[in-house]
Every structure is written in C-alpha cells, then in structure tokens.
Structure 1
Amino acid sequence: MKSKKKIKKKYFNNNFTSITTGYINMTNHGYAFVNIEGFQKDIFIPKNKTNRALEGDLVKIKLNKKNRHRKGIKIEGEVLKIIKRKNKKFIGILKINLHLNSKYGSVIVYNNSIHVDIFIPIPINNIKKYHNNDKVLVKIISWPKELKNPLGKIIKIFGKSGEYQTEIDSLLEQYGISYKFSKKIENEAKKIYLKKNLNKNNIRKDMRSINTFTIDPLNAKDFDDALSIRKLNNDIWEIGIHISDVSFYVKEGSLLDKEAYLRSTSIYFIGKVIPMLPKILSNDLCSLTPKKDRLSFSYIFNINNKGKILNNWFGKTIIQSNRKFTYEEVQKIIENKKGDFYEEIYTLFLFSKILTNKRLKNGSIYLDKDEIKFHLDEKNNPISLRLEKNNDAHRLIEEFMLLANRKISEFVSLNCNGSPSNKIFIYRIHDKPDFQKIFLLKKIIEPLGYFLDFNNLKNSINFLLKKIKGKSEQNMIENLILRSMSKAKYSTKNIGHYGLSFFYYTHFTSPIRRYSDIIAHRLLHYYLINNNNYHNNNNDKTYKLKKIEFYEKQSQYCSYKERLAIDAEREFIKYIQIKYIQKFLGKEFYGIITGFTDWSIYIDLLLFQTEGMVRLRDIKEDYYILNSNEYSIIGKEKRKIYHLGDKVKVKIIDINMEKKKIILSWIENK
C-alpha cells in the first residue's frame, strides 16, 4: 500500500495527467462514484457526466481541473469512455405503450444493476408476442448519444411477472443456474441406471439383515442417509450411519461428474427442486429407498449405554432400508413411546440427546431457528404458512449426521499415516466472528435487557438464545447473531468449525445434493484402499502441490455455488412471502422494530417473519428523528423513544412485488 504522501504526489503534482481508469458505482439518482486503486477518495461523477456508464463498468475518466488541487472537498470527474461493460443483459418488466399507431416498450429493471429504463422498439409483426408486465431478459444493443436511455432487444420472455414459474425461471437466469440436463447427460445417467451394478462381492460389508430406516421430510424424494441399529448385549449397541454411495456411480471426469461439479448443489425452491443429479439417479438409483438393495458408504460404531463410542469402522456397504419415516411419524413414536421400530428409534433418540449435551458442553452454539413453511395450491399460489420448529426427530438425525461428518474428518486427519498438516481433504470450516459485529450485537441487545460476555462468548450466546426463546424479539436477535457470525465454507486448509466447536469437520452425508460431499467420499475411499497413505509416492512434492491446488479450487467453487444457491432460495422465499401477504392489504399486525434509517423504520411482521417499512414522515403521532446511536428514534415534541426490538402495531398499506417491499403505516402506539 502506497503512503498518502506518495499517492498525493502521484495525483496532484504538475506533471500528473488527469486521465485515469476505475470501476463506476451508480446511484439511483443518476450520479456516480469511481473507485481508483490506491486513491484515498472516490471520484464524484455528476449526473450529466456519466456518459452512459452503468453500474460496475470499467471506465476512463478525466478529473476536473478546477477542484483537483483543493483539499477537504469531493473530487469531481467525468466519464470519457466505457472500456468494458460489466453487464449487457438485464432482467426486468416490460411496459408497452401505444404511440402513433405503433407499439414501443421499455424494460424497467428493479434492482441496482442499472439506473435507467431500457427502450425497446417492438416490430409490428412481433406485437402479439409481447405482453404488458411480462418479465423479460433484455440485451442492450446500443446507446445513441442523443438518447437518455439505451436501446435494447428482448432475447427471452419468462412470462407474466409475479407468476410462480416466471419467478423461478427468471431467478435461474439471474443466478446462472442450469435447470434442464442435456440429452448427453441424461443418456449417461440412463446407462448407469440400466447397469444397476450393485457390486455384491466381498468388497462391501453386507448390512441388509440389520434393521435400517430413513427419516426425512414428508415430501422428500432423494434419501441420502439411513440409520441402522442393533443390540449386541445389554450394554452395547451397534449403530450404522449409511450414506448413498454416489461416487460409485458418478465417476470422476465423466460428463455427469463435470455437470454435477458445475451445479455443485441442488437448489430447493418452495414446491420445486433443481437437482444436482438427474432424477433417475437422485430420486431412484442413488436414493436409499425402502425394500431395495442400495450401495452406501458407511460409518459404523459400537456405543455403550453411557454414550461412549468404543470403536469405529468406515467402508463401503450394501444395505436395504426397512422403512422410510417422516419426521412427524418419528416424533409421534418418541412422544407416545410406541410404534414401528420403537425400541430402535427411542434408543437412537436417547443417544442423540447424549451427543447433543456433549457438543454443547464443548462450546457448540445452539441456534435452533424456526423455519417458514408454505402450503401451495394446485396453481402454486401460497394459501397458508406455518412456522416449523425443530423437534426431537429433527435433532436425532442432525446429531448423527454431525457425528459422521466429524468422525470421518478426524479419521482422515489423525489416523491416516503422516501428520494432519500433510493430509489432503476437504474440510467444512467456520472462522471466529468479527469482533466489531459482536460488539454491535452487544450494543443493540443491551437496551432490551440482554448481555454478552466477551470472555465466554459461546456460552454467553447460548444463554442469550435460551433467554429469548418464545419472546417477540427472538427472531430479530437470532438474525442479528447469524449476521455477526462468519460464513462457513469449504477448504483444504483446516481452521476448525467455530460454531460447532469441532476442530475436524467435513460434509459427507448429502452426496446426492452436494458436490463437496462427493469430493469427501472420493478422498476417504482413496485413503482406505491405499492403506491410509496419501499417495504411493508421497515424496513427490510437485504432484502433491498440484493436488492441493486442485482440491482447493474445487472447495472454493463449491463455497461460491453454495452462496449463490442460498441467495436464490432466499429471494424466492421472499417472493412467496410477498405474494402471500398481498391478501392481507389493509389489515393490522404486530411487529418488532429491526432497523432504522434517517427516513424509515424496518419492522419484522411477527406472523409472517418478514420485514416491512414505515416512512418516518408518515408517523402522525410526532415528528421522529434518528438518535445519534442509530439504534433508536425520538419524538421531537413528546420525546418518546422507540428502540430496536420494541413491539409496535402497523397496517399493511402497499405491496411492491418486483422490489419485494412491504409498505406499512404506523398505528399509534401508546
């Protein structure tokens, strides 16, 4: 990093040419800022000097000579040339107008990627093809100097804005997510399916005679994992955690493997799944369906009644699930203490409680958020919602999957020949939280009567989570805790998992829907068949470095695709929430204040678990201004203060489907 003195000399001496380049950040108002690498201030670009630049473009700019040498003021410039457009394609809503007996349209883009509408000349012979309020993909083809708006061409029509399939298709386009598999991929999957090679030789341990079952959501079709259990004597049980052996069918380097890697994850929209693998594999051959022989990669261990694991075994197996259970069915068996496989299920439940208590004692953070579930009608319109809480059945499965992921990671890292630092493996890592974010969390919750102890942070967070259970501010504080945490990711460089308090952890238990788990399967299998050695020629440092680089690149890509999938899923949930809330226009609800700006208040509607906004100027009971701490507002006359977390009453007065915004009015709160 250059010193300020050198930077100043570079940009302000008499020999300095005022032409430079940088990336432009547009505002909704039309003016912009350009960030110049190594420069202490962004360059301000007035509205009339942006020269048709768009958000993120690489531009050549000229600094304004009049204020180049002045200190303490913003430095102005103008865009001379667009070197490279960041985007030429945009998704927006088509608006068609009738003008001089010919039709033309404009596409309104509702995100921050472009600050102007795109003008669309619509040929007369294509008029019937387009409809007002269609959601479309448009490409900018030119931007004449004499026009305020660029000219574009519609290259894809998704359908009427706000409709279920339209929103899915446009989201997939926006995030660059593949939907359909090519014929080549489907044919390769079909060939694998028709072979149905179960490899029933001595390589696999035969577990088909042991009671085995799956526990999944009601509408699940891809069953990654199954549990088996049998009693060995009065004190010892054998438990098997069986994971679909996807890597046996999806060979590294095949077309199917390359496609799975490109997708990296299945995506779960409400009412629809975009699978990582073709359905003939994900829902059939690789799925651990009941009454069928299935190949699995298993972790099998003996455990005594006190929850002490006595030994471990990892390897390839063949299983047959006796039955598929739903979470609801297992929960009833646990509560009523009767039903199919009662002894096995209740024993697993008791062991899961022991595992949970050990994990919490070791410092694992126990964040157990409610999940929003929608019921859709036959046209995929949301007709009801519920908040689904994790029950004992959910926690049973979660605990055994956590155990398998931890034990497999420990096995590779500690039990294979060589030191842990020499191992190549894919870890699921989670860094410590950012201190500034935790400090901000502390400042926000203190006025609500809650505290955090920085010296014992994990236990303090767990105590806070218990204390807010059932309180109106629970959802807000849980979201604040989540935002204060680092994002978990994949890496070959292990730093441990902060949130779980595991030093060794991986993802192994969902290979049908996560490519990271396929990588873990392949690496574990490699170590097992090579007698725990990394490579027969372990001294070949060049080879090892190349493999580390290869797996680290795959890890980073899986992390990137995971974030894209999460963002897409959240955006779709927001769309469903907004569509559902439309029917409640004019109704009053209670909410929790979750944020303030200079001009608005954000409120989490308790019934819907989604945010709406009230403009400060629309509050009639007083004139409110933002306090300097930015965590409260105060009335100018009555001096009443509202804090983050306060419960208030509001009315839903408007819904903006495209911006996914809920506009609220303030009901006077006494």
Structure 2
Amino acid sequence: MKRKILHNNLATGFINITSYGYAFVSINGKQNDIFVSKKNTNRALEGDLVRIRFLRISNNRIEGKVLKILKRKRKNFIGILKIQSHSSKYGSVVVYNKTIHVDIHIPKKKLKGHFHNEKVLVRIISWPKNFNNPLGEIIKVFGLSGEHKTEFYSLLEEYGIPYEFPKKVEKEAKEIGLKKNFDTNQRKDMRNINTFTIDPIDAKDFDDAISIRKLNTNIWEIGIHIADVSHYVKEGTLLDQEAYIRATSVYFVGKVIPMLPKILSNNICSLKPEKDKLSFSFIFNINREGKILKSWIGKTIIRSNRKFTYEEVQKIIDKKKGSFYEEISTLLFFSKILTQKRIKNGAIFLDKVEIKFHLDKNKNPIELYLEKNNDAHRLIEEFMLLTNRKISEFVSLNIDGKPTKKTYIYRIHEKPDFQKIFVLKKIIEPLGYFLNVKNLKESINHLLKNVKGKSEKNMVENLILRSMSKAKYSTKNIGHYGLSFNYYTHFTSPIRRYSDIIAHRLLDFYLMKNKECKSKIKSVDFYEEQSKHCSYQERIAVDAEREFSKFIQVKYIKKYLGEEFYGIITGFTSWSVYIDLLLFQTEGMVLLRDIKEDIYTLNSNNYNNSIIGKKKRKIYHLGDKVKVKLIDANVEKKQITLDWIQ
C-alpha cells in the first residue's frame, strides 16, 4: 500500500457525511473529493463549510482532517424524540431524513412536558469536544409521530412551505374583492358563446374554460380562456411578493396549500359558472381536418355556462348524450387529431396513472385506487398543450417564421441521460420488453403501448419518467424534448403557478402598442432569476407531495403485514434490493442479509447491476419478478421492509 504524508496543505470545502460516519469534502479545483475518516470529522455535520488539512495520499486517494467548521449548513432539525427511561441523563432526537448522521441529545432537565415518540423541531446548542453527540433544545412540538396532522405540519416546516398568509397580504387580497375591477371596454366580449369548465371533482379554483361555436359546415371557433390573474395581482405588491415566494400551489393528499389567498384563487380569479369573469384568451378557427386557419390572442370577458367534472364529461362521451353533448363530442374529435399530430411529430405519449386515496373522517387511508386518464382528461390536456405552444410561438416567432428575440419564459426539457435509459433498458428486458436507444421516442411509445393493461404498466411508466430529464423554466429556449415542441411555455394555470403569471405579464407587454408599456419589460437576467426560482420551488413542492404520499402509502399498507405479494426488482445497493410492489404501486426493500436461500452480494457491472448467490451462483437481475412477504411498514422512516420468499 502506497502512502505519502502531506504537510501544511489547507483547503476549504463542503462536507458530505455518510450514514456510516465517514465523509467526503468537495473542493473547488480538485477533481476527486477528499476522504475524511469518522474520527477526523471533528463534529462536522452534513453540508457544513469546513477547513481541512490534507494528511496523506493512500491508495491514490487524498485523506484529510477537519480542522474547523466555518459555517453550519443548518442548526435546526426535525426528528422523533426517544425517551428510553427516566433514569437516563438524556433523551434523543432521531432524524430519519439523512440531514444529520447522529442523534441529537436533549438534557433531562429540558425534557419536562415532553413525551416519547413526539415529532419535534430541535436546535443544536452545543457539541462539547468529548461528546459523541451534539446537545440540543426542543423549540417546537408537532404532535405524536405517525399522526396525520403531525406529519402534515412537520413536513411543511421541513420544506419551508408557508401554511398561512401574512395578515397584510390577506388584507390586500380582500381589498381587491371590494373594487370594481372590470375594464370591459378594453376586452373582447365572449359572454354570449357556449363556455364551460372541466375539472377534478374536488377542484375549488378554475384556471381555464373552453368555448366553442360552429361558424359553418366546415369551420368551428374554439376559445381557450385562462383566468386573468395578472390583472388582479399587480407586480411589486405584497400579494405579488408572497405569490412569488411560494411560486406554486402544493397538493397534498386531502389538502391544498394555495399560492394565492382563497378569496382570489377560489373566488375572484376563478372562472366560476354564471359569473362575468376576466380572462386572457387564445381563440382560433379550425376546420374539420384539424387545421388552424386563423387565431387571435388577447384579453376577454367570459361567462361560463356550466362547471363540469371529468367524470360528468366522460359519462356524456360514453352515453353519447347529455348537456353540451355536441360541443363536447366536437372538442373530443379535434383533441384526437391534435394528439395524433403530436405523436407523429415525435412526442412521447405517457398516459400516466395516479395513485389516489380515500381518507376516513380521522384522515386515515381506507382505500387505495388508481386514477386513469380518460377521454375527458385528454380533451382538456390537448387544448392546454396547444395553447401553451401557440402562445410561446406567438411571442417567439415573426410572421415569416424567424425568431423575434423577445424575452420570454419557456418550459424546457432536455434529452434524457443515456445512463438512465440504459438502466431502464436493463430493467424491462427480463419482462420481455425492448428499447431501441437509436430511435428512442418511437421505441418508448411502442413500449408504452405494449405495457397497456399489464400489471407492470405503472411501474414501467414510473421508470420511464425517472429516466427522463426534469422539465424546468428558463429564458434560454432549447425546446421541449418529451412533447417535441420547439417552443413551449406554461400559460394555462396562473392561479396555481407563478411561472404562468410571468408568461401573462410578458405577453401583455408585447400586445400593448405604446412604448411606455414596453419599457416596463425588465432585463433577461431578471426573468431568468425568476425562472430559476419557479423551477426550484416546483421541485420542493414535488418532493414534499411525494414524501407525504409515501407516508399515506406506508400507513395504508400496514394493514397487510404478514401477507405475500409479487414485485419487480427495480434497484440494488451493496446491502439491499428494492422491489416495486405491483398491487400497491410502491417500493419496498429486502435486506441482502435476510435472504435465506443463499448469501447474496452485489455484482456491479457498469449499469447492469445484479446480485449473485455465493453457493448456488443464482443471479437476480433488474426487472426480475419475485415473491415477497410484507414484514414491516415503518411510518417514522416512511419505509416498507419485505422478506424474500424462495
């Protein structure tokens, strides 16, 4: 073993601490991270900015020691209080989300009034040199771990999602409600045309409405009307600042945290039926072949005739009769043409199934069901995609098709990472499916068609989604890979997405004729910063929604302890196998040491991971179907543990 001693080499970097206690420090200018053994981390915590000294080079790896913590990444943590006995000097707060690798000890005198298994917010107050654990104090109690209310409010705290609106913001919103806000003279009046909304059954805010009228035997006029939120939420107001901070509504199981106060989101801005409402519209003439002949974009006033749910519209489609049947069937006809054109143009047709839960009065999950997209969903989706594309093209292209070079906010989507596609390929092959990486989009669509109606459909769709890049917002347009659009924006949901408010404001500026209004447009850097913020907040919302959904799933699955199920292997680590439980559409884990039939070890070969038995040499690959028993559903860790059945 080659070992070289290093002297007086100091550096600064951020530390990444593993669950085993050893760490790596990333330093600018160094290609490889510096290894730090457990004894040399010097009370550093995950993400801290630290000063280190290089100690030696061992086996071509630089080893270092933490000399000083320059800046703590965080001092507050959310965990579960464990009080083992009254004779113990300390209670421990156990943090399960990998933000800290040690438990935080709470001195006994600070435990008065607290109980075992409470979920708490704890602050680190010190970490004495001769102590293995930091000392802390409890600054907030959420309730007993595992309870719906506890998990909900602790998750909001963890992700920094504000629950209530500041009083000044609420006041500003109420004042908008008292004003007469209709500037009808400046708007196209669409109130006499058949218009309706189609939304989920539990929807409170209605962002979009659709109108249709027949002009002659071959031509229809269709209007996509979007709530004119930017008319009410003026740039720079307290309301606008709060909406920007939130950037998105967050949808938890059984609860919505809106981006705007309810007086706006559910009432003033919402396109409710039988009320005059302000909207921003894309109106176009279309012929029987699905060709758009001409279009108009601008401010309108509408009056929705009817509020439909997706279920009601689907019933009308299936029975071929009912309220607005002719209009609905015509819209469905055109939406199918639009879908065919998209797929022909190279779009990936991912018809996702969503996991939903019915909760009882105590918020406990009593039923799991899968919500499938039907014709009613696809009808609305297709016209929203068209609107987002056409608005983006209107701003970005001149009549001759050349770029305008105007600043705009785009929804962009990069090509997928080849390594992830390779993993997807390896998982689906044992299931009898094939992926042609040279003709990826067409091959993915073919795969999606083949898994339709199969038990592994949702799992394969999830794997495809995971292999794709994450869509984001940017002023630098690169197009949308998944949709195969050269220009695409988010314009159709301004009640719940701040990105759409930005898109509305910029479009409004470009539609105005006077120079004074155009001078209000800020720098590209300003809108790029807003785009990044919207992307970041969207990611936080998605992660929080996913974590809360996992909590509900684990709570629901608890009732099936001891039962056996089939699953598909989706991943390996050096100590575990991850298995997608097909019946529940969720992932569980088997520890390698718990597989009794043999001693299995990870057999890593580039991206083609597998496990191999020491004695019988049996190999399990990604995508293999296996039988397992549910042995634990840990609500605290949001973790499902399985037993391997030979």
What residue identity is the alignment partner of 1:24? I
Q: Is the Cα contact below 8 Å between 1:98 and 1:104 reproduced in 2?
A: no
Structure 2 spans left out of the alignment, 5+ residues: none
1:625 and 1:605 map into 2 onto residues whose CA distance is 22
* Correspondence list, 1:393-412, <5 A: 393-412=376-395
Give the % identical residues.
Answer: 72
- Please tell me the residue identity of whatever aligns with 1:663: T
Equivalent residue runs for 1:166-245 within 5 Å: 166-200=150-184, 202-245=185-228
Q: Offset of 1:145 from its aligned partner?
A: 1.3
- Matched residue, 2:239: 256
Cα distance in 2 for residues equivalent to 1:390 and 1:380: 26
Q: Does 1:391 align with 2:374?
A: yes
Change (3 A) 1:346 1:536: closer
**CA positional deviation for 1:637:** 4.2
Residues 509 and 518, structure 2, Cα contact 8 Å, conserved in 1: no
Greater Cα shift, 646-655 or 275-284: 646-655
Deviation of the 1:99 alpha carbon: 3.6
Q: Which residue of 2 aligns with 1:6?
A: none
Deviations 1:365-403 (A, max 9, x none): 011121001001111111101011100000000000001
Q: How far, CA to CA, are the matches of 1:632 and 1:117 in structure 2?
A: 34
Aligned partner of 2:136: which letter?
G
Query: Displacement of 1:436 after TM fit?
Result: 2.9
Determine if the alignment matches structure 1 residue 61 to structure 2 residue 65: no
| Partners of 2:316 and 2:609 in 1: CA distance | 47
CA distance 1:564–1:286, shift in 2 (3 Å)? same
Displacement of 1:219 in angstroms is 0.4
- Contact residue 195 and residue 211 of structure 2 kept, 8 A: yes
Give, in whole Å, the separation in 2 of the partners of 1:318 and 1:99.
68
Report the CA distance shift for 1:305/1:90 in structure 2 as closer, same or farther (over 3 A): same
Counterpart among 57, 65, 69 of residue 82 in structure 1: 69
Q: Map residues 175-574 of structure 1 onto 2, 5 A cutoff.
A: 175-200=159-184, 202-415=185-398, 420=403, 422-530=405-513, 547-574=523-550
Q: Find the partner of 1:116 among 99, 102, 121.
A: 102
Describe the shift of the 1:667–1:536 C-alpha distance in structure 2 as closer, same or farther (beyond 3 A).
Answer: closer
Matches of 2:395 and 2:614, distance apart in 1: 64
The answer as to whether partners of 2:397 and 2:404 remain within 8 angstroms in 1 is no
- 1:50 matched residue in structure 2: 41
2:619 is aligned, of 626, 630, 641, to: 641
Rounded to whole Å, the distance in 2 between the matches of 1:449 and 1:458 is 19
Contact 1:23 1:58 in 2 (8 A): yes
Q: Quote how far apart the aligned CAs of 1:123 are.
A: 3.7
CA contact (8 A) 1:22 1:36 kept: yes
Computed over aligned residues only, the root mean square deviation of the Cα atoms, in angstroms, reads: 2.2
CA–CA distance in 2 between the matches of 1:656 and 1:376? 19
After TM superposition, give the deviation of residue 418 of structure 1 in Å.
11
Question: In structure 1, what residue type is equivalent to 2:78?
Answer: I
| Kept after mapping to 1: 8 A contact 2:170/2:261 | yes
Residue 626 of structure 1: aligned partner: 602
CA contact (8 A) 2:427 2:570 kept: no
| 1:34 corresponding residue in structure 2 | 25
Matched residues in 2 for 1:240 and 1:451: separation? 42
- Asked whether the equivalents of residues 424 and 534 of structure 1 are also in contact (C-alpha less than 8 Å), the reply is no
Query: In the TM superposition, what is the alpha-carbon distance from 1:21 to its structure 2 partner?
Result: 2.2
Residue-by-residue CA offset, 1:202-225 (whole Å, 9 max, x unaligned): 211111111111100010000000
Select the residue among 125, 130, 143 that pairs with 1:159.
Answer: 143
Partner of 2:572: 596
What is the CA distance between 1:536 and its match in structure 2? 5.7
- Secondary structure at the aligned position of 2:112 is classed as helix
**Structure 1 position 598, deviation (Å):** 2.8
On the 8 A contact 2:208/2:492 being kept in 1, the answer is yes
2: CA distance, partners of 1:273 / 1:139: 29
User: SS of the residue aligned with 2:397?
Assistant: helix
**Equivalence for 1:4:** none
Partners in 2 of 1:555 and 1:99 — Cα distance? Answer: 53
Answer whether contact 1:51 1:79 (CA < 8 A) is retained: yes
Deviations 1:97-145 (A, max 9, x none): 4444x87422111121111111112547x723x2211111111111111
Contact 1:416–1:527 under 8 Å retained in 2: no
- 1:8 — aligned with what? none
In structure 2, give the amino acid aligned to 1:281. L
1:66-85: CA deviations, max 9, x gaps?
x34x5x34333222211111
Contact persistence 1:527–1:534 (CA under 8 A): no
Displacement after TM superposition at 1:190 (Å): 0.2
Whether 1:93 and 2:71 are equivalent positions in the alignment is: no
Contact 1:334 1:345 in 2 (8 A): yes
Distance 1:108 1:623 in 2: 31
How far apart are the structure 2 equivalents of 1:231 and 1:329?
23
Cα distance in 2, alignment partners of residues 95 and 246 from structure 1: 48
Deviation at 1:633, TM superposition (A): 3.0
Q: What is the SS of the residue equivalent to 2:407?
A: coil
**Who is 2:116 aligned against?**
132
1:608 lines up with 2:591 in the alignment: no
CA offsets, 1:164-184, max 9 Å, x none? 121111111111111100110
Structure 2 letter corresponding to 1:490 = Y
CA 1:627–1:645: 2 relative to 1, 3 Å: same
Distance 1:93 1:625 in 2: 33
Preserved CA contact (<8 Å) 2:426 2:622: no
Q: Identify which range, 132-141 or 620-629, moves more after superposition.
A: 620-629
1:327-369 residue CA offsets vs partner (Å, 9 max, x unmatched): 1111111111011111011111111001100111100001112
Partner of 1:106: 92
Contact 1:613 1:662 in 2 (8 A): yes
Q: Counterpart of 2:103 in structure 1: which amino acid? A: D
Q: 1:255 to 1:203 in 2, by over 3 A?
A: same
Task: Indicate conservation of the 8 Å contact 2:207/2:270, yes or no.
Answer: yes
Give 3-state SS (helix, strand or coil) of 1:561's partner.
Answer: helix
Which residue matches 2:15?
Answer: 24
Answering whether residue 640 of structure 2 is matched by residue 662 of structure 1, we say: yes
Structure 2 counterpart of 1:82, which letter? I
Measured after TM superposition, the shift of residue 461 of structure 1 is 1.2
Local SS of the residue matching 2:628: strand
For the structure 1 residues 453 and 618, does the alpha-carbon distance in structure 2 shift closer, same or farther, using more than 3 Å as the test? same
Partners of 1:196 and 1:646 in 2: CA distance: 64
Deviation larger for 41-50 or 619-628: 619-628
Who is 1:3 aligned against? none
> Which range is displaced more, 143-152 or 562-571?
143-152
Asked if the contact 1:97/1:103 (under 8 Å) is kept, the reply is: no
Deviates more, 1:223-232 or 1:163-172: 163-172
Counterpart secondary structure, 1:53: coil
> Per the alignment, do residues 257 and 350 of structure 1 end up closer, same or farther by CA in structure 2, a change over 3 Å counting?
same
Contact kept? 1:94, 1:107, Cα under 8 Å: yes
Instruction: Specify whether residues 208 and 32 from structure 1 end up closer, same or farther in structure 2 by C-alpha distance, changes over 3 A only.
Output: same
Aligned residues: 642
The separation in 2 between residues aligned to 1:626 and 1:471, in whole angstroms, is 29
Q: Distance in 1 between matches of 2:5 and 2:98?
A: 37
Tell me which amino acid in the other structure corresponds to 2:594: D
CA contact (8 A) 2:19 2:98 kept: yes
Aligned residue for 1:420, secondary structure, equals coil
Whether the 8 Å contact between 1:103 and 1:127 is mirrored in structure 2 is no
